[in-house]
Structure 1
């Protein structure tokens, strides 16, 4: 099946992405983040994990647009979800609209009934484009931060709970715990390999800053962390507590252990992301985190002609 090719301005070239493009894509996404937030918050491991998503065929489901000088100007991928990024220098030339059109056509071709895309609320031009194309808001996402000018205090654990860092061999039990916890709101369970590519196999995974909680030798909570040196801060990639141990302060305990570990490594801020379906925002605010910025997940039905 040949790849769909959108119409782009004269001089721009279009091709699918490959593993050799990960660094270049990362630089593009980082440039977009710096323009919007004044800092970058992505890492190449996240892009690597996207290209390895089950069912994603890079030759059909990814697209790069290079400018006449050969520099990456925009990129997109679609596989149940979609992402579109246009370099700040190349905005206003129709590249985002062209990639959005391509993503919708490709999603229909692949048999998807809807397409979903997350857009920062501060990116008003992208929001306006999506709304003009019939996208409707579905979920709110927040990036929260915990500032650490001083070493964070760690509370006493609940009775019977012990905490230690992530060790080799903990992957399978952490995966099972997190997937069971996320079943409450996620649409599908990830395979172990897909989950690992987004967490413990990423180059930025920080086992020493990842905290696990146990009771009687059983894993009851996990906070898995990434160390993002380019951003100069830590990031909690996933946190989960077994259902029968919630409302005991385990999540707060795990977060504080992770915060302290990052502080001792010289990081002065730690972030994490959550969304409105999880109902966890109030917990993070009580721990002392603050919203850095918000995004909205937009959805468009592809069943209509």
Structure 2
């Protein structure tokens, strides 16, 4: 099926009365960001998403927005959205003022239909534990695939930087380190994540090509020969007292683990973010990685808990 065909193939179940649906365009990124933010504030008490997150994700060369995303409108106002973000993964949200109209049920059905059309055999999405979205998907028979946790370093606390083996160093990544960092991250994440390998162009769109990226945001640890054996990507978000340094990706090469490189990268990433104005230090991990205990041992504490719920198609 071509993207044009997929985009024009509407989900067969009718929308609730008074609502319309259409495919999304890149210029809808702001409206989608505002929609997700409203749901986040209602569900977890704060906005996490930024416009740069949506724009970076939609800028991936492999992502066909017209074929994989839909908006639900009440007049000209966007009140719900869903998209297949890749493979068996999706996302959806409904404005908290519009709950109870059947929008979420329609979006869940649309996600299943569109993912099936795009060749997936399963589709899942993250929802805050106990949220209206979590309760809806539970009622619709979506099972928990894995649990995710957002962890925060309490104010005034820092991650201790361990002493590294001789010849090793943590530093800001240079442009000629980018491909090596990508390889280290993908190799590590594919040890536990069931998905296709992300190519360098897609990875770059959400890291070094992300709006607002600065060279200090990507950091690596190198061995005595200068070979990259670990990498971390940190995102600076929010404003003022809520300025957050969020570790988006952290990985160490399999044969170099247990030597303190992960903790060294974490300590360095948070320190770099603080030097650029961050007042909070956060990251997210999930039950597939086995890393929760590691982050708790260095002093981080769980804040919101999210569930990735999915359903077979």
Per the alignment, residue 86 of structure 1 pairs with: 94
Shift of 1:254: 0.9
Unaligned runs of 5+ in 2: none
Bigger drift between 287-296 and 1-10 goes to 1-10
TM-score normalized with structure 2 length: 0.89
Per the alignment, residue 168 of structure 2 pairs with: 161
Give the match's secondary structure for 2:166: coil
Give the match's secondary structure for 1:170: helix
Per the alignment, residue 269 of structure 1 pairs with: 280
Change (3 A) 1:55 1:161: closer
Question: Could you say what the CA RMSD is over the residues aligned between the two structures, in angstroms?
Answer: 1.9
Pick one of 232, 243, 262 that aligns with 2:254.
243
Per the alignment, residue 140 of structure 1 pairs with: 147
2:234–2:248: 8 Å Cα contact kept in structure 1?
yes
Change (3 A) 1:89 1:193: same
Pick one of 213, 229, 234 that aligns with 1:225.
234
**Equivalent-residue separation in structure 2 for 1:7 and 1:253 (angstroms):** 53
Change (3 A) 1:43 1:235: same
Shift of 1:86: 0.4
Pick one of 184, 193, 196 that aligns with 1:186.
193
Shift of 1:172: 0.7
Shift of 1:44: 2.0
TM-score normalized with structure 1 length: 0.91
Give the match's secondary structure for 1:169: helix
2:94–2:103: 8 Å Cα contact kept in structure 1?
yes
Per the alignment, residue 53 of structure 2 pairs with: 46
Shift of 1:279: 0.9
Q: Are residue 75 (structure 1) and residue 81 (structure 2) matched?
A: yes
Per the alignment, residue 212 of structure 1 pairs with: 220
Shift of 1:148: 3.9
Unaligned runs of 5+ in 1: none
